[in-house]
Amino acid sequence: MTERSADESVRANEHIPVLLQEVLTHLVGRAQMPEGAAKESGIFIDATFGRGGHSRKLLEHLSAQSQLLGLDRDPEALEEARRLSEQDPRFSFCQARFSKLQEVLKDKRIEGVRGVLMDVGVSSPQLDRPERGFSFAAQGPLDMRMNPDEGASAADWLNQADEAEIAQVLWMYGEERQSRRIARAIVAARPLATTLELADLVAQALPRPRGGQRKHPATRTFQAVRIFVNEESKELDQGLQQSFSSLAVGGRLAVISFHSLEDRKVKHAFRQLSQPPKVPRRLPIQNLDLQVQGRLIGGPMKPSLAELNANPRSRSATLRVIEKVR
């Protein structure tokens, strides 16, 4: 067996859907379809289509009467979505971000969704293409936009923002303890144009770690800038709210996150939906359970050892699922 090239390895990893078995089990009721078993029916949404890994598998488990709507703000997802819609008429696609979900559903006259999948954060194809500017490991333009046709690039913002604003973003969205030091170095080195310029700058600005360091020193900085440039925090908040609102009673929302900031948001939102509100005992309020809107399905799910061996990039993934009960 010959050793695969780096490019072949990248292509092999592009379409590996993370936590696939868990998604199928909890979103459509089963991971492996028994022969002759009735398939799940209804309308489903893959709110982060990417390159279609989850969507293709979901379609295998849906009935002929079902519909699957894919969403993604990245225009590069459009080509793969077009191919899938030509192969399977049950699938349709709309280029849109999370905050436009209810608008899309209204335009398509879709109600009573049975399941929504959100696989949030940056995708493997985006990371693996240096020209998109997401990776600190390869030279490319300092862009980082999920949709290159919208808004300012990472370079645009870093080259004009003041030092205090940069430091605040690095702390809020990257939990970077050396945010002020890095912000100071960025302002002093401007203008920045490429990913390696920023990565090398951060590495030089930080004190040398004691002992080994597993993560690249620019990991938190790149994460923070990407989240800010794409408004990912606000989009996730609106995506969770709109996705859950779109569900029919008994429908489920499954969310895969890849870092602690995202997972905390999902955990907090699901907790609010699944627990009765806290009120002072002296207030004459009864039947608080009637105000509970959702039911948590299991706890946070992590990749199995087999999946970690097959796809190391899944190591930080966490899946949470909630079911609408009223």
Distance of alpha carbon 317 from alpha carbon 314, whole angstroms: 5
pLDDT tens digit string along 229-275?
Answer: 999 999 999 999 999 999 999 999 999 999 999 999 999 999 999 99
Tell me what the pLDDT averaged over the chain comes to.
Answer: 89
Distance of alpha carbon 102 from alpha carbon 85, whole angstroms: 21
Answer for the pair 140, 130: CB distance below 8 angstroms, yes or no. yes
- Residue appearing with tokens 């008429």: 89
Distance of alpha carbon 153 from alpha carbon 147, whole angstroms: 10
| Biggest CA pair distance of the chain | 73
CA-closest candidate to residue 73, choices 114, 115, 126, 20: 126
The pLDDT of residue 291: 75
CA-closest candidate to residue 229, choices 172, 115, 152, 124: 152
Q: Is the pLDDT of residue 99 over 50?
A: yes
The pLDDT of residue 208: 77
By mean pLDDT, which of 96-105, 107-116, 212-221 is the weakest? 212-221
pLDDT tens digit string along 122-140?
Answer: 888 888 899 999 999 999 9
Reduced DSSP (H G I as helix, E B as strand, rest coil) percent helix, strand, coil of the chain, to 5: 45, 15, 40
Two tokens, residue 17: 């859907």
pLDDT tens digit string along 268-307?
Answer: 999 999 998 776 666 555 555 557 899 999 999 999 999 9
CA-closest candidate to residue 255, choices 294, 203, 199, 208: 294
Q: Give the domains, in start order, of the chain with CATH numbers.
A: 6-124+232-324 (3.40.50.150), 147-229 (1.10.150.170)
Q: Provide, rounded to the nearest whole percent, the portion of the chain with pLDDT above 90.
A: 79
